[in-house]
């Protein structure tokens, strides 16, 4: 291999920690002009330079014109033009050091992205790329087990990049999540504070929050309200004994979640796990003790409830239908909007913020976005319903 040199651009700490995270799939929701693109350019070039001979590396943009911009930026920023050759018509650079090829591709026709073995990729402006393009890119990384960086501005909640970022934020295996705001870039000297303040004055609030603070708009689809949820958040679990438990049972890839509320409707008990049914039943018994519990008894849950009720009188069932789930969620929404329930800053908050409703021909449907979970929300709603409507023994708060 010929010896060649290139100068790694200086990255600020939060930028480098996000882009060079050791996880294989890294989702980065970032402010406009915060340095995500130039950082990922450095990441992809470094991996290509140090990677296998003749390997393919991809930069994916929503449209051909944007892919061409990245191609030109690479050519402008690689200081020694003798270290590569370029094909300007097909948009690829070949590194002389090891024959690695950096391709610049469009997500407009996802079917054209299948077939190659790719050793690493960047999906730029991911929220504006078609989901089928992600499917294709993911398939090209299978044989090589190559890493990928998924970057872009936030653009609402109804897109695959948002859902994937939430999975990463929840700690899905092999994935990592980072957020870089305009104020992070200001702190690093990349952006000027007065320019961000001007943008906040000039742009609609929702637009500013998405483009500069990496905060998705509510889209009118969250039944609780993001501000109301934030007002209910406390640092951790309350230091008190539960007076009720709500249990949502796992199905397929879901989680069994238990939420305990104290007399003041503060979350003081929380557990989340995936286990076989016999172990799940034992765990519910051990956690609940003699405290009243409202248990999801839908489908297989009816048999679980039956086992829990053997020799115990503190378990009742709640069957989920579209109508009963609507009633349950609307009751929880009232409490959240009134600030009458207190939730920890963990998966419970995350799922509440992700939760959506939509109008159907049969009424209102409440659920998490496709591919995400709502087990924590359901468990909290069951506990809240038990607190309001079922019998539990008051405790002496003093």
The range of the structural domain enclosing residue 358 comes to 226-389
What separation in angstroms does the CA of 139 have from each of 76, 111, 176, 193, 345? Answer: 31, 11, 19, 41, 35
| CATH number (domain holding residue 203) | 3.40.50.300
| Mean pLDDT split into 10-residue runs, the chain, 398 residues | 58 95 97 93 94 96 92 90 93 95 95 93 94 96 97 88 94 96 96 94 81 79 86 95 96 88 96 95 96 95 96 94 91 94 94 79 73 91 93 52
pLDDT tens figures, 132-157: 999 999 999 999 999 999 999 998 88
**Residue 138 and residue 134: Cα distance in Å, rounded?**
6
Name the domain count of the chain: 2
* Residues paired with residue 352 on neighbouring β-strands, in sequence order: none
**Residue 348 and residue 94: Cα distance in Å, rounded?**
48
Task: Assess whether 17 and 43 both reside in one domain.
Answer: yes
pLDDT tens figures, 109-132: 999 999 889 999 999 999 989 999
Task: Assess whether 201 and 231 both reside in one domain.
Answer: no
Task: Assess whether 343 and 234 both reside in one domain.
Answer: yes
Is 6 within a domain?
no
**Residue 78 and residue 94: Cα distance in Å, rounded?**
12
Q: What is the pTM of this model?
A: 0.66
Domain boundary among 161, 179, 213: 213
Is 220 within a domain?
no
Is 30 within a domain?
yes
Q: What is the pLDDT of residue 355?
A: 87
Q: At 325, list the tokens.
A: 């789930």
């Amino acid at each position: 291999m010929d010896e060649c040199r290139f100068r790694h651009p200086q990255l600020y700490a939060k930028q480098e920690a996000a882009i060079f995270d050791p996880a294989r799939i890294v989702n980065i929701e970032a402010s406009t002009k915060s340095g995500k693109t130039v950082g990922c350019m450095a990441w992809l070039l470094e991996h290509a330079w140090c990677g296998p001979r003749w390997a393919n590396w991809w930069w994916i943009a929503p449209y051909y014109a944007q892919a061409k911009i990245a191609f030109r930026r690479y050519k402008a920023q690689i200081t020694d033009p003798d270290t590569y050759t370029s094909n300007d018509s097909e948009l690829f650079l070949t590194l002389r050091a090891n024959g690695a090829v950096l391709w610049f591709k469009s997500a407009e026709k996802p079917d054209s992205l299948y077939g190659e073995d790719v050793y690493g990729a960047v999906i730029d402006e991911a929220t504006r790329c078609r989901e089928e393009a992600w499917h294709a890119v993911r398939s090209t990384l299978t044989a090589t087990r190559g890493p990928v960086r998924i970057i872009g501005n936030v653009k609402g909640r109804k897109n695959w990049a948002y859902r994937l970022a939430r999975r990463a934020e929840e700690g899905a295996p092999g994935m990592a999540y980072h957020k870089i705001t305009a104020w992070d870039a200001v702190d690093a000297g990349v952006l000027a504070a007065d320019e961000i303040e001007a943008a906040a004055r000039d742009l609609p609030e929702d637009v500013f929050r998405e483009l500069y603070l990496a905060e998705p708009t509510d889209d009118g689809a969250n039944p609780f309200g993001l501000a109301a949820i934030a007002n209910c958040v406390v640092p951790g679990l309350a230091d008190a004994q539960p007076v009720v438990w709500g249990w949502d049972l796992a199905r397929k890839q879901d989680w069994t979640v238990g939420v305990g509320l104290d007399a003041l409707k503060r979350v003081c008990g929380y557990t989340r796990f995936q286990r076989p049914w016999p172990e799940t039943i034992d765990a519910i018994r051990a956690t609940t003790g003699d405290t009243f519990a409202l248990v999801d008894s839908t489908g297989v849950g009816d048999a679980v409830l039956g086992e829990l009720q053997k020799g115990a009188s503190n378990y009742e069932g709640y069957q989920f239908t579209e109508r009963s789930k609507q009633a349950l969620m609307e009751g929880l929404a009232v409490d959240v909007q009134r600030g009458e329930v207190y939730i920890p800053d963990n998966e419970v908050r995350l799922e509440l913020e992700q939760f959506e409703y939509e109008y159907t021909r049969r009424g209102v449907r409440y659920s998490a976005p496709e591919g995400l979970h709502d087990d924590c929300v359901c468990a909290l709603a069951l506990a809240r319903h038990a607190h309001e409507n079922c019998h539990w023994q008051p405790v002496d708060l003093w």
